[in-house]
Chains A and B, each alone.
Chain A
Amino acid sequence: MSTQHENKFTTLEQEALICARCGYCRNCCPVYRVIGWESASPRGKITVAKDLYVKGNKNALSDEFIQRVTQCTLCGACNVVCSTSIDLRELWIELRRRIAEGGKNPKGLQDIRKNILDNKNITTFDNQDRLEWAQDLDDPDVAEPRDGAEVAYFVGCVSSFFPQAAQIPLANAEIFGAAGVDFTTMGGDEWCCGFPLIISGYPDDAREFRRHNVEKIKEMGISTLVASCASCYHIWKYESREQLAGYDLEVLHTTEYLARLIEENRIQLNELDEVITYHDPCDLGRNGGIFDAPRKIINSIPGVRFVELAHHGMDSLCCGGGGNLQSVDPQLAKEITKLRVEEIKETGATIVVSSCQQCEQMLSAAIRETGLPVRVMDISQLILEAME
């Protein structure tokens, strides 16, 4: 009969001792489900961490262990079931930090860091090209940075630079335009939110990126920030409190903001004859607490029949794309996506909607491979389709 349900993280040493080795965290873990060995389960990893940091067995920091620590999507499913309420997601991130600190990080994660430090974004592109996607708008200038706008749209690295994801900012910009939203972006002054740095084990570097972005937002006099990337949203909402102290910034995910526009009748939605299911991105749903807004949007489209996936909401199954897993073990990430695609298939949906460009990329690739007649869409794309 808990009065408080939050998971807790004190120190790695203490939490490793608290772990009861009950194994509740095994079957919900997508990585364990694919790999199947105890060492790939949260229980197994925390056992080795205890050996290493509590019992002082230095040999336990083996290459095999480091591989297992990086083979994790940081989806947080283990948090939900943990019988001793350990904030396991926090624990995995701390483990990565210690591994990075000891100079033992895999090359894939070191490369991510180098790119971000060099270019201020996760790609090798020049950060000044952040608004390339806007060239496809009727008036590309609407996205140019502007002080004092009603809303700043934080586009995120993937949507800014990856052509496959550019449809998301384009859809959002078109919807904002149709709803008469006075919006802007940070243009080339938008730096990576720092999320990939934190989860690669470099939280100190990430702090500098948050500081920069917050300073810029303050300079622009922004009071509402909207992010379409679940991870960027997570950083702004939960990890930037220190930098934002004393500044009143409303942080919203696009699902929340678009649901608001619909509620205020600023967008008109026409009938769509589709069966739609929704994939909860881990950082937005389980780790960000946003479940209702996307469902409200889908259900507000006339003619749509909404079906839930077998695992949804707090129990949602990761798409495989989280935790920088693709950089260290793309094959494993793919195998995890397949588990999710099986669930999508079972629903009989014609469209699977999500609200994270990473989830959409993973699902699109896997669905294409299986030849399943299902379209993968971002929530903004779905709204745009219903508006046309």
Chain B
Amino acid sequence: MKPEIVEEIKHKYGDRANDSPFERNLYTRDLAPVPALMVDPLFKTMPDLVVRPANEEEVAEILRIAWKENIPVTPRAGASTTYFDSIPVKGGIVMDLNLLRGVVGLNEERMTVTVQAGTTWSELDDYLKRRGLTEKSYPSSAPVATIGGWFCMMGYGIGSLKYGSLLSQVKSAQVVLATGDTIAVTPDTDPPLSWFAGSEGTLGIVTWLELEVRKLNPMKHFLLKMDSVPEMAQVLKEVKDAPVIPYNLHFTDPACVQGMHALGLIPDEVGEGCLLQVDYEGAEQELDQAEDIIRRIVDQHPKVKMMPGEMADLEWEERFKALRLKRGGPSVLGGEVWLPIKEVSGYLADIAAMSSKYGIRFMSYGHVVTPEYVTVMTMFYANEVNTINYMFSLGLTKKIQDVGFRYGGHPYGIGLWNSPYITRIYSRKELAELRERKKRLDPRGILNPGKVYRYPLLFHPFTFGIGANVMAGLIRAAGRGGRR
């Protein structure tokens, strides 16, 4: 980036533009614990400048400069993603969107709220709850994830099973394109709203969204315990297909339950096995009906145990705390798979077999997000202090995705690190269509370059596969995967 452009933006934005190495360095990472050894030689994750626009006009002005000068711009909000989605790989400008914050308006007749893209889901919830309302769905990272960030990712999480994807709840949005032009988008405009959902900041910067809200209803929570994965999968299916749709349906596999015991995160009386958390929201009558359904299912499965109500309530309260398990690490590696529900049993059996093969405990939990799909997070402990061993462990993350792929699954979210799998995620035709959109809206490729559409040369699926297999093989041969 030309020094005079850096100076021009700094001059305009004062203490909201920063090019000090100290500050920029903090914008070179997200949650992904990838060693510098593997990143720095390949990618320029250090931005030349970080700027924090305070409104849509400023977003547009910065983009106009970047467009003119061909400068890469990486949008960043909560940076709670794990695939370097909001990390630059070609330097340039990081646009920190956290100042685009707050509710613009509430329309109780339309039952929609218009909210700036950098507002977190927890902040929006605070606002709505005070008015007897709440969101239809939100990610399980609500304390950090922003409305715009989740929209630009896949948009499935808590509440999606009952209320659908975030895209289906958004009525309209405002987007600043790479050129700096601002457009209003709805499902019927050209380009339509759907283009921007899951676009990971590669097509435009969303500044506000209008989304549906719902009445804040009472809830009922149930926690079921079963001995085996097949029984859990069967009960999960019955719960999901019953006449009352759960708001949230979440399972924990036996290895993950063991991991939670090891850290004292669950009471001893839970014992070994799988857990299934079922949460309902709705009118009292609906909740009573839901309770009848759960009791009937439990009666029909003599081995399924209903855990005390307080445990179910607590599990719900701690729905944002999946990372508690990291205390057993200190590092955690893994992969998230978008998987057909009917394949959960097979997937978890293969993962368990992998645990024996590599002498590593692979722990899985999952959220049912549509009537057909579940997002499964499978993770294992590693120690990044031991760099060489750790790099071998990274090879195992591909093994997780391979098991998912065998069962009709694919990675959830792309960014940089899942780009070798794009042909698993999209068909040839879909990929061509996506590339067309990119060419039309950002022909110079300044918005979040290096993500989503293509893999870097070194990440060619063939070479990437060989590399990952070799690393995983070394872990197995060394037999020091950290058996626990």
| Cα separation A37 to B144 with both chains bound (whole Å) | 15
A3 close to B (CB within 8 Å): yes
B144 touches A27 (CB 8 A): yes
State the A residues within 8 Å of B (CB). 1-4, 8, 14, 17-18, 20-24, 26-28, 36-39, 44, 47-48, 54, 62, 64-65, 81, 83-85, 310
A27 touches B29 (CB 8 A): no
A-B contact pairs, 8 of them (CB 8 A): A2-B318, A17-B385, A23-B144, A27-B143, A37-B26, A64-B23, A83-B323, A310-B126
A14 touches B330 (CB 8 A): yes
B228 close to A (CB within 8 Å): no
A24 touches B384 (CB 8 A): no
| Cα separation A28 to B130 with both chains bound (whole Å) | 18
Number of residue pairs spanning A and B whose beta carbons lie under 8 angstroms apart: 103
A17 touches B331 (CB 8 A): yes
18 new A-B contacts at CB < 8 Å, known A23-B78, A44-B26, A54-B385: A1-B223, A1-B270, A1-B314, A1-B318, A2-B324, A3-B266, A8-B327, A18-B329, A22-B31, A22-B144, A22-B323, A24-B141, A37-B50, A37-B52, A39-B26, A64-B22, A83-B323, A84-B323
Given contacts A21-B30, A83-B323, contact A36 B52 (CB under 8 A): yes
Give the chain B neighbours of A54 by CB distance below 8 A.
385
| Cα separation A20 to B79 with both chains bound (whole Å) | 12
A27 touches B22 (CB 8 A): no
Chain B's closest residue to A17 (CB) is B330
A39 touches B22 (CB 8 A): yes
Q: What does the 1/0 interface line of B67-100 toward A look like (CB < 8 Å)? A: 0000000000011100000000000000010110
Give the chain B neighbours of A26 by CB distance below 8 A.
78, 144
B22 touches A65 (CB 8 A): yes
Chain A's closest residue to B275 (CB) is A1
State the B residues within 8 Å of A (CB). 16, 18, 20, 22-23, 26-27, 29-31, 50, 52, 78-80, 96, 98-99, 120, 122-123, 126, 130, 141, 143-144, 223, 260, 264-267, 270, 311, 314-315, 318, 320-324, 326-327, 329-332, 384-385
Given contacts A18-B330, A21-B30, A62-B22, contact A1 B385 (CB under 8 A): no
Which of B16, B22, B324 contacts A85, CB < 8 Å? Answer: B324
Give the chain B neighbours of A8 by CB distance below 8 A.
327
| Cα separation A324 to B143 with both chains bound (whole Å) | 28
A18 touches B326 (CB 8 A): yes
| Cα separation A64 to B18 with both chains bound (whole Å) | 13
Tell me the minimal C-beta distance from B185 to chain A in angstroms. 27
Give the chain A neighbours of B18 by CB distance below 8 A.
37
Given contacts A2-B314, A38-B27, contact A17 B329 (CB under 8 A): yes
| Cα separation A17 to B323 with both chains bound (whole Å) | 13
| Cα separation A36 to B27 with both chains bound (whole Å) | 13
Given contacts A17-B384, A47-B29, contact A4 B264 (CB under 8 A): yes
Give the chain B neighbours of A85 by CB distance below 8 A.
324, 327
| Cα separation A22 to B140 with both chains bound (whole Å) | 12
B23 touches A37 (CB 8 A): yes
Which of A28, A39, A84 contacts B23, CB < 8 Å? Answer: A39
Tell me the minimal C-beta distance from A352 to chain B in angstroms. 19
Give the chain A neighbours of B99 by CB distance below 8 A.
36
| Cα separation A346 to B330 with both chains bound (whole Å) | 43
A2 touches B326 (CB 8 A): no
Give the chain B neighbours of A47 by CB distance below 8 A.
26, 29
| Cα separation A85 to B23 with both chains bound (whole Å) | 26
Which of A1, A17, A64, A65 contacts B311, CB < 8 Å? Answer: A1
| Cα separation A26 to B120 with both chains bound (whole Å) | 11
| Cα separation A139 to B327 with both chains bound (whole Å) | 58
| Cα separation A85 to B260 with both chains bound (whole Å) | 14
Give the chain B neighbours of A23 by CB distance below 8 A.
78-80, 144
A3 touches B29 (CB 8 A): no
